[in-house]
C-alpha cells in the first residue's frame, strides 16, 4: 500500500471504502483497531497508528473493533506477477498459512521453509519485512479473527468455534483469546446484540464483505449459464449448490450465498455438517466469488476494453468439477457442455437432501470416475477422446490436487495438467484461471478472444494478441472476460 501516516489518516476521515481491507487504524486511547470505513467518531490524528494487516495491529496489542468487525473486511487483493522474488515468497508463505489456519496443527517455520525451498532464517526475514509480523503471529491472528466472526455471527458452541477456527483445544483457545482480545469468548458473545446474529436455523451463517463496485449481474449470469441442474441454482442475487466431500472439506453439504449490494456484503449459509470446516468454507467462497478483488485497480488497467466497472473473475468451489466441465466444454457451446455435465451427474453422481428440492445432486468424486470405463461415459454422447480424458483426469487428480494451494506458481500446475491425455494448453489455462483464481491467465488460441481482439485492435494472430495483452498484466484473466462479453449480442 505504501501510504504515509498523513495520507492514511485522510483515507480514514473520508471513510474511503477503496482502502477497506488494505488499511487498519489503531486508536491508542482505546487500544482498538478499526477498518477505515468504521462509523464511530473519527479519532484524533495523534491517537492513530496505521497498519496494513490485522496481524500487525494485533501484534502491537490492539484488539479488533466490535462495530466495524475487521474480521469480515475484504482481503488485500494483491497482484500476482508484479512483486519481486522476496515478496512473492512471502505471499506464498501467507497463502499456505491461510490454507492451514483451519487445521488443528501449527506448522513449524522449518516445515514452511522446506516447502518453499528456502532457509528458516531467510523466510523469517522476508516474511517479517512483507507482513510486519512473524509467521506464527500471522497464523494466530487468522484463527482468532475467524473465531471472533463465528462467535458474533452464529450461536455455535464455544468449543465448536475453537475447533472450527483451528485451535487444538478449548483451553488453548480461551487463553489465546483472552491474551489478545482482553476478554473471554463468552464475554464477546455476550456483548453481541441478538439482533445482530444472523438467522440460520440449524445452518451456519456468516457475513463476508467486498469492495464496490461489484458487477453482480454479470457474475451470476456467467454462473447461471454454466450451472449444472440439480447441483447448482443461480438467480439474480442468490446461488445455492451442493458440495461433495473432498471439494472444500472432509464432509459433504450444501451452501447458499446471497448478495446484499447496499451493504457490499455477501451472506454465506452452509449445512451444519460443514460447520467444523468454517474457515475453509469462508476462504473457498471468497475465492469463488472474487470478493478480495480491487476493482478500481483492475478497471484502471483495462481502460482499453469495453465493459462495466466491477467485473469479477468467477472461481470454483470444486476444482475437480470445474476441470471435468472444462473437458466437456472443448469445442462445444456452453449450453451443450452444461447438458453433458448434467448427464454425467445423473449417471454417476449421488443424491443429497438440501433445503431446496431443485438442488439435490452431488457431482461425482474423482475416485468414482477413476473407476469408470470410458465407454460408459461415451454412452452419454461424449466423444471417446473426451471420455477417456475425464477418466485419466480423475486418476491423476490425487497428485494434481496437492498443487492446488500453490496459487503463485500456476505454470507448474498447468504443465502437470497438460500431461493428462486429452488436456491441451487452452483447457489447462482455463482450469487454472478458475480453480486457482489466477488473475493473469490468458488461455492461448481462444477463438472468442482472438475474434474480439481482431475487432477491437485488428490483431491477426496469437502472437500479435499477446503483444497487445502485455499492457493488461497482471489482470489478463479479467481482460479475457471483457473480450468474451464484448461478443455477446445486446438483447
Q: How far apart are CA 111 and CA 96, in angstroms?
A: 11
311 torsion bin: left (phi>0), alpha (psi -120 to 50), beta (else): beta
End-to-end Cα distance, the chain: 41
Query: Do 387 and 374 touch, CB atoms closer than 8 A?
Result: yes
Q: Tell me the DSSP string of 301-353.
A: HTTTS---TT------S-HHHHHHHHHHTTTS-HHHHHHHHHHHHHHH-EE--
**Of 285, 318, 302, 341, which is closest to residue 478 (Cα–Cα)?**
302
DSSP SS3 for 360: coil
Residue in the block written with cell 523466510: 123
The count of other CB atoms within 10 Å of the CB of residue 306 is 11
Q: How far apart are CA 105 and CA 345, in angstroms?
A: 36
The count of other CB atoms within 10 Å of the CB of residue 364 is 22
Q: Which of 153, 299, 318, 446 is catalytic?
A: 446
Is 446 labeled as catalytic in the residue annotation? yes
**Of 64, 67, 66, 47, which is closest to residue 56 (Cα–Cα)?**
64
Q: Which residues pair with 32 in a beta bridge?
A: 27, 63
Cell for 41? 467518531
Q: What are the percentages of helix, strand and coil residues in the chain, rounded to 5?
A: 50, 10, 40
Judging by DSSP bridges, how do beta strands 63-64 and 204-209 pair with one another?
Answer: unpaired
Is 34 labeled as catalytic in the residue annotation? yes
Query: Do 343 and 381 touch, CB atoms closer than 8 A?
Result: yes
Distance of CA 93 to the CA centre of its chain: 16
Q: How far apart are CA 89 and CA 67, in angstroms?
A: 34
DSSP 8-state assignment for residue 74: -
- Supply the Cα-derived Rg of the chain in whole angstroms: 23
Query: Do 101 and 146 touch, CB atoms closer than 8 A?
Result: yes
Furthest CA-CA distance within the chain: 72
Q: Which of 34, 48, 65, 209 is catalytic?
A: 34
Q: What are the Cα distances from residue 314, in Å, to 223, 275, 287?
A: 8, 24, 8
| Torsion on CA atoms 277, 278, 284, 285, rounded to nearest 10 | 150
**Of 144, 171, 145, which is closest to residue 159 (Cα–Cα)?**
171
Catalytic site positions: 34, 446
Amino acid at each position: 500500500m505504501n501510504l504515509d501516516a498523513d495520507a492514511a489518516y485522510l483515507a480514514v476521515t473520508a471513510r474511503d471504502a477503496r482502502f477497506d481491507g488494505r488499511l487498519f487504524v489503531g486508536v491508542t486511547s482505546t487500544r482498538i483497531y478499526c477498518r477505515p470505513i468504521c462509523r464511530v467518531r473519527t479519532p484524533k490524528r495523534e491517537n492513530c497508528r496505521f497498519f496494513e494487516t490485522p496481524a500487525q495491529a494485533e501484534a502491537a496489542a490492539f484488539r479488533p473493533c466490535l462495530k466495524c468487525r475487521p474480521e469480515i473486511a475484504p482481503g488485500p487483493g494483491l497482484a500476482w506477477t508484479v512483486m519481486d522474488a522476496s515478496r512473492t515468497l512471502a505471499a506464498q508463505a501467507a497463502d499456505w498459512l491461510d490454507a492451514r489456519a483451519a487445521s488443528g496443527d501449527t506448522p513449524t517455520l522449518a516445515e514452511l521453509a522446506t516447502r518453499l525451498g528456502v532457509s528458516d532464517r531467510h523466510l523469517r526475514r522476508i516474511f517479517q519485512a512483507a507482513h510486519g509480523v512473524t509467521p506464527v503471529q500471522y497464523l494466530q491472528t487468522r484463527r482468532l479473527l475467524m473465531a471472533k466472526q463465528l462467535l458474533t455471527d452464529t450461536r455455535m458452541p464455544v468449543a465448536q468455534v475453537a475447533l472450527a477456527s483451528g485451535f487444538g483445544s478449548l483451553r488453548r483457545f480461551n487463553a489465546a483469546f483472552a491474551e489478545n482480545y482482553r476478554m473471554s469468548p463468552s464475554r464477546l458473545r455476550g456483548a453481541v446484540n441478538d439482533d445482530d446474529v444472523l438467522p440460520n436455523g440449524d445452518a451456519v451463517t456468516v457475513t463476508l464483505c467486498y469492495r464496490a463496485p461489484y458487477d453482480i449481474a454479470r457474475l451470476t449470469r456467467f454462473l447461471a449459464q454454466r450451472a449444472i441442474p440439480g447441483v447448482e441454482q443461480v438467480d439474480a442475487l442468490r446461488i445455492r449448490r451442493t458440495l461433495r466431500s473432498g471439494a472444500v472439506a472432509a464432509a459433504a453439504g450444501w451452501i447458499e450465498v446471497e448478495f446484499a449490494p447496499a451493504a457490499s456484503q455477501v451472506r454465506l449459509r452452509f449445512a451444519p455438517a460443514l460447520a467444523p470446516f468454517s474457515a475453509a468454507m469462508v476462504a473457498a467462497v471468497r475465492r469463488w466469488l472474487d470478493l478480495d478483488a480491487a476493482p478500481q485497480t483492475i478497471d484502471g488497467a483495462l481502460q482499453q476494453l469495453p465493459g462495466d466497472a466491477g467485473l469479477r473473475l468467477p472461481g470454483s468451489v470444486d476444482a475437480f468439477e470445474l476441470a471435468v466441465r472444462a473437458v466437456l466444454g472443448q469445442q462445444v457451446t456452453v449450453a451443450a457442455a452444461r447438458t453433458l455435465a448434467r448427464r454425467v451427474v445423473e449417471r454417476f453422481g449421488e443424491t443429497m437432501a438440501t433445503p431446496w428440492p431443485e438442488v439435490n445432486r452431488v457431482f461425482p468424486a474423482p475416485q468414482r470416475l477413476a473407476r469408470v470405463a470410458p465407454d460408459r461415459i461415451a454412452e452419454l454422447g461424449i466423444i471417446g477422446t473426451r471420455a477417456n480424458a475425464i477418466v485419466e483426469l480423475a486418476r491423476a487428480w490425487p497428485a494434481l490436487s496437492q498443487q492446488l494451494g500453490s496459487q503463485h506458481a500456476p505454470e507448474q500446475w498447468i504443465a502437470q495438467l497438460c500431461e493428462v491425455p486429452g488436456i491441451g494448453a487452452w483447457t489447462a489455462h482455463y482450469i487454472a484461471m478458475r480453480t486457482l483464481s489466477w488473475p493473469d491467465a490468458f488461455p492461448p488460441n481462444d477463438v472468442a478472444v482472438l475474434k474480439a481482439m481482431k475487432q477491437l485492435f485488428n490483431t491477426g494472430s496469437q502472437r500479435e494478441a499477446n503483444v497487445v495483452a502485455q499492457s493488461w498484466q497482471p489482470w489478463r484473466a479479467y481482460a479475457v472476460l471483457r473480450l468474451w462479453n464484448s461478443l455477446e449480442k445486446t438483447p
